[in-house]
Structure 1
């Protein structure tokens, strides 16, 4: 009960203009892709705020993050700052070789339901898992690729059914070896630039839905 009250203390989007409330908050939470994207954003035009003048972006990238940790990370941020208006989640890639598909889908759906209950007028943006050249720990990489496609289909459909948004990452699909580091897992600078551009576009669309601003870059 205390947790729910804490989360629900965030202001509704409709009160921003009428009461002079702070800018809408955008949280980006995920594994190392979010961590390295933040590092890359810091040295690009627009910086960590991705060029948004009327929104406040906060990054929470945790190397090695698993899906079961996402909820606790979101709660931890909520204890330190006002709740978000837009919540971007990028997770799941680190779970593909260690968690059954059905269990992974269940965790993700449960988290999305809880986010909507915790925060008022929240737009959830689900950033789909990006295919990897190498799936560490995979006995059968082809089966992991099939499971990844099924995961994206099921979770994306669920997010849209809850009025959320989905980032497909089309430019990072297919033969993406040229966009990866030599480890076959993480994006290189070109890949990160594409990833950031797709995040920026999705955030801009999400803020538009709730009356927020546009990026200047």
Structure 2
């Protein structure tokens, strides 16, 4: 007999194709089902919550944690709320003073000069919490004051201070006694419209040239008389007045070539007196 030849089923690695495969786990007899491990529901509830992050195991423990946290946080929250309220109260008490400056072209050109100056449109009064609102209109006459104030009140809150510079364009057009009565009626109406506003009268300036008369001296004397009347009127009603003693009709360097509007020197003097008056109104105990 010939010897049995080797099977050609051997592979190159020495492994046979019909080699037994290895299975993990325990062997079980055919027809026998795998037994499932019983789980105790009570133990699963005890261990399940602890298999992640740590936490309270019962609702009672959760309530205790919440109450303890609240006890620590509520005092801190109360302090924070008190601090916020106190800051808001301090801010409201120290809120800025709004000043309206309403008048003719003198105010308009004074605003442009202040805008280009070192102190700016607030005349350097920001340190005292002043905020100046300029409303100058070329050719403004006395009867434009009340409509102008009512128009501003449609869009703005009433100011703490109202400065009026107007009336010179009406001198020579309205008789002096009648003009005084009209001025008094206007101030009375302003006090009704603005009961909590302090009214300041900015004295009418002299001129080298007047529109309705060639008698310069008589027109300037009329302006002085009207200024004296208004100074007394606003003072009686709790207001103040502003004078410009450096500006006279003899000081030609204070005026432009038209003899009406102020030069750069005149505007500088005008703003200086206005600034000083507003400082004294806000801080009367200080001397500037």
TM-score range, shorter chain: 0.7 to 0.9
Which residue number corresponds to residue 110 of structure 1? 185
Which residue number corresponds to residue 24 of structure 1? 97
TM-score by length of 2: 0.64
Offset, 1:203: 1.3
Give the 3 Å change call, closer, same or farther, for CA 17–203 of structure 1 in structure 2: farther
Which residue number corresponds to residue 176 of structure 1? 251
Which residue number corresponds to residue 10 of structure 1? none
The alignment status of 1:205 with 2:280, answered yes or no, reads yes
Q: Residue 40 of structure 1 contacts residue 192 of structure 1 at CA under 8 Å; is this kept in 2?
A: yes
Which residue number corresponds to residue 194 of structure 1? 269
Paired residue for 2:204, among 129, 150, 162? 129
Offset, 1:168: 1.5
RMSD: 2.3
Which residue number corresponds to residue 87 of structure 1? 162
TM-score by length of 1: 0.84
Offset, 1:52: 1.6
Offset, 1:165: 0.7
Give the 3 Å change call, closer, same or farther, for CA 82–102 of structure 1 in structure 2: same
Q: Larger RCO: Structure 1 or Structure 2 (Cα < 8 Å, ≥ 6 residues apart)?
A: 1
User: What SS is found at the alignment partner of 1:49?
Assistant: coil
| Mapping 1:52-71, distance limit 5 Å | 52-53=125-126, 54-71=129-146
Which residue number corresponds to residue 119 of structure 2? 46
Encode CA deviations 1:37-87: one digit per residue, 9 max, x unaligned.
000000001211111221211000000000010111111111111101110
Offset, 1:107: 2.0
Q: Residue 67 of structure 1 contacts residue 104 of structure 1 at CA under 8 Å; is this kept in 2?
A: no
Which ranges in structure 2 are unaligned for 5 or more consecutive residues?
A: 1-88
